[in-house]
Amino acid sequence: MVAMRLDKHVCMWCGACVGVCPVNSIILFETRIEFQDHCTDCLICERMCPVGAIYHVDENDGHIQLQSEI
């Protein structure tokens, strides 16, 4: 089990993550992203975010972000 997290200092409130979430579990309140409970931990939003504002935490609360080769 992981949980999605947002780095609000990085987020540009663009809604790209919202549009690709397969279960419509993210809401953008103008400038504030909220993950809802029915998230399935698919990490699609984390890959989609153009600036890397989304990361996740594992059961030990460790911060994890998908690494990039670019």
Residues within the interface to ligand SF4 (CB under 6 A): 4, 6, 11-17, 21, 23, 25-26, 28, 33, 35, 39-45, 48-49, 51, 53-54
Sign of the CA dihedral with 17 first, then 11, 15, and 28 last: positive
From the list ligand SF4, other proteins, none, partner contacted by residue 42 (C-beta under 5 to 8 A by kind): ligand SF4
- Judged by beta carbon, residue 31 or residue 60, the one nearer other proteins is 31
Torsion of Cα atoms, 44 then 36 then 58 then 52, to 10°? 40
DSSP state of 48: H
Least CB distance to ligand SF4 at residue 70 (A): 17
